[in-house]
Amino acid sequence: MPYPLSRRQALLQSLGLAGLALLPGEAAQAGEATAASGVLTRLIGGTAKSVIFKLSPMSGPRPWYSVATRGGKLMVTGSSPVALTRGIYSYLKNNGLAEVSWEGDRIAVPDQWPATAERRVETPFRHRVYMNTCTFGYTTPWWGWPRWEREIDWMALHGIDMPLAMEGQEFVWQALWRENGLSDAELAAYFSGPAFTPWQRMGNIEGYDTPVPQAWIVKKRDLQRRILSRMRELGMMPILPAFGGYVPKAFAEKHPDARIYKMRAWEGFHETYWLDPADPLFAKLAGRFIALYTETYGEGQYYLADSFNEMLPPISADGSDAAKASYGDATANVKAAEAVDPAVKAARLADYGAAIYQSIRQARPDAVWVMQGWLFGADRDFWSSDAIGAFLSHVPDDKLMVLDIGNDRYPDVWTRADAFKGKSWIYGYVHNYGGSNPVYGDLDFYRTDLAAIRASDKTRNLKGFGVFPEGLHSNSVVYEYLYDLAWEDAAPADWLKVYTRARYGQTSPALLAAWGNLQTAIYQTRYWTPRWWKSRAGAYLFFKRPTIDATEFPPLPGNPLLLKQALAQLLALGTELGGSKLFRNDIIDAARHLAGFEIDASLQAAIGAYKAGDLAGGDAAVKHLSDLARRVDALLGAQQETLSSWIDDARAYGDTPAESAYYVENAKAQVTVWGGKGNLNDYASKAWQGLYADFYLPRWTQFLASLRQSVIAQTPFDQTAFTAAITDWEHEWVKADTAYTRHVPADPLADIKTLLELCA
């Protein structure tokens, strides 16, 4: 009977080197090259055997790759497994052979690799970072390993080496709080529902939609182990969670003598509790959390601790411990922070920053404290340049990394902060908020902005570039372009030639003309301002809770007439490209966006007509918008996500009927009412089949019928009463056990043609 292969023998055999011996360093490099080969094999199958990956250790600060054809084989050399996978993906795209996106892949492997001369590509960014803490609520709560494996492959192919890895931490928090005397009942009342965990982790909420099934916590533990294993195989440096100071209310009650502050009631939720880093308990809890995390998931180097996400540091005017914790986000129309003595403020912030860093360092001496820089833009009245400098002042430059995520919304943070006073930092954009999916982006801005940041002599210790979407699965062209720009500069017009050929299998002057108009019409918007209008969320007016002042809603950004022209041009190519799933996806997205302009205008027309006493005009506008909404709803059955797919994924995550029902209600709440009594309803609104016809349209229909009746009765419209009633209706909708089924349109291009005829 043969003996089993040793790990070394198995590695050699897998590389076709069974007769050779590898030195330890060579074995490690061969294993990492095998990880890159694994990504390619999952993408193109057995043809991956004809691609030879060679890892060449990085000699300078910049990762690189090169690709060349030799003797019928493809040779890919790079400084890391991620560089290798980025190299092969760049080659495939440049030759029109593959495009990998959230909506699906197009793969066309040839019999013979197209010849290419060797060309070295070197990224100007040492690190390429990905994801946002909120992504783990808005997108991933129901993901299992197959979906995560695909996303990690997507990361590697796009050259990402530093992803956030936030799954599975509730298992560790649970163990930490149990060690500190909290009962299972107290813990059950503490953890918030799966789709809301990011805000629990950042200290904004606690105990929302409890109890979380233990099975979810255990599943996420097992999942995180696989996620981190694969990321590490690929040489990625995942950003892991750390203790930022927030403690359960039950813990605070058990430690009345500790310096624990009652923080503000964020967005209509109840208050949370933050432990002062100067209290000895802080270091104890922080160190123990990392120890438990390491026991569960292995060692890390980069640890994320956000203590003040949309929560101001507790510093009172007189410097006392009885500090006021208020909120100063101007975008939420909330009063700015209370003025305090600058010297008191600086000293307190410096102490906070030093203690947070030391609490991480005690457990991992080589650790880098990572923090999101969102607070510096959102709460700019508090976070002056001096305040930022004080907070960072006692941390070594190479032991703190600021993720400056919001440069498409708050573009002056890094300059106000003097490039974070020499600390290492990452430049990037959020782009997507709430997983909401209006069609937008700004390709020209991204290119010129990144060129400016590369050329600037004021960036000091800039370490990389990142994209930090709160949610995924929308506007994939934006992410494709941004991560390409992270490696090579390309003008949008030139880049679109490569993109369209890779995505659809062919390109042409007519297709590029259509995409040129599409870019001008809808991809010249840096930040989607309408989604947060008068402190009301919702990407379009149609997605917002109905109000009588909707006639004041500003026009959506973009050019609907040019968008309509681009759609007509794309429809004309339907015979050639209509068989492409990705082409259909893109034209459907553009068409429902055009319909969004028309629906919003019809809503305003209906309200204006009724307020003017024109019942016939109002009725006609209501009929028009209702027809459009139902047609869009039917069309969207062809897209990646629908209300039914979101609900089905949530239901499938449950191991019992009770768990499934809980997950479904949690999922429905997130995309509609969200939670709390603030302004978060519709924050995560989606352009999905099911929501148009069964949520947005009924809500507006009830509003318009009520407004119409008030006109007939010659009585003022009671907005307060209507809002209370429709809020109750929304919550009943969330609780209702309604079955939703995806309905795929038989001929989406014909449906789009009809939509165009109905749009002005």
The confidence score (pLDDT) of residue 22 equals 35
* pLDDT (0 to 100) of residue 338: 56
Per-residue pLDDT, 135: 98
Q: Are 174 and 217 in contact (CB under 8 A)?
A: yes
State how far the Cα of 598 lies from the Cα of 592, in Å rounded to an integer.
Answer: 10
- Of 376, 400, 396, 397, which is closest to residue 386 (Cα–Cα)? 376
Domains and CATH numbers, the chain: 7-122 (3.30.379.10), 130-490 (3.20.20.80), 515-758 (1.20.120.670)
How far apart, in Å, are the Cα atoms of 295 and each of 171, 292, 300, 359? 12, 5, 11, 18
Q: Are 222 and 166 in contact (CB under 8 A)?
A: no
SS3 107: strand
Distance CA 710, CA 262 (A): 45
pLDDT of residue 259: 93
Listed residue (354, 741, 749) closest to 571, CA to CA: 749
Q: What is the DSSP string of 31-85?
A: HHHHHHHHHHHHHHGGGGGGEEEEE----SSS-EEEEEEETTEEEEEESSHHHHH
Output the six-digit token pair for 187: 């813990």
pLDDT along the chain (760 residues), means of 10: 38 37 45 88 95 88 94 93 97 97 96 92 97 98 98 98 98 98 97 97 96 97 98 97 97 94 90 94 97 97 95 70 34 44 91 95 94 95 94 96 97 96 97 96 98 97 98 97 98 98 98 98 96 93 97 96 98 96 98 98 98 97 98 98 98 97 98 90 97 98 98 96 97 96 97 95
- Give the C-alpha separation, 222 to 209, whole Å: 23
Take residue 624 and report the two structure tokens written for it. Answer: 């028009």
Angle separating helix axes 509-522 and 581-611, nearest 10 degrees:
40
What distance separates the 2 farthest-apart alpha carbons in the chain?
94
**Kind plus residue range of the DSSP H or E element containing 372:** strand 368-372
Which residue in 103, 99, 154 sits closest to 131, CA to CA? 154
Q: Which long-range contacts (CB under 8 A, 24 or more apart) does 712-721 make?
A: 712/615, 717/548, 719/547, 719/548
Spatial separation of the C-alpha atoms in residues 429 and 416, rounded to whole Å: 17
CB 280, CB 250: distance < 8 Å: no
- Nearest residue to 507 via CA among 522, 523, 495: 495
Sign of the Cα torsion 61, 479, 508, 113 reads: positive
Give the tokens for residue 108.
Answer: 């066309």
pLDDT of residue 5: 39
The contacts of residue 63 (CB under 8 Å, 6+ apart) are 78, 79, 80, 82, 83, 122, 123, 126, 159, 161
Report CA dihedral (553, 559, 563, 565) to the nearest 10 degrees.
130
User: Any idea what the Cα angle at residue 115 is, between residues 112 and 116, rounded to 5°?
Assistant: 140
Q: What's the burial of 651, exposed, middle or buried (CB within 10 Å: 0-12/13-18/19+)?
A: middle
Which pLDDT score is estimated for 504?
98
| pLDDT score recorded for residue 435 | 96
DSSP-based three-state secondary structure for 397: helix
Q: How far apart are CA 135 and CA 276, in angstroms?
A: 28
Core vs surface per residue 182-199: b (16+ CB within 10 A) or e: beeebbebbbbbbbbbbb
257-291 residues labelled b (16+ CB within 10 A) or e (exposed): ebbbbbbbbbbebeebbbbbbebebbbebbbbbbe
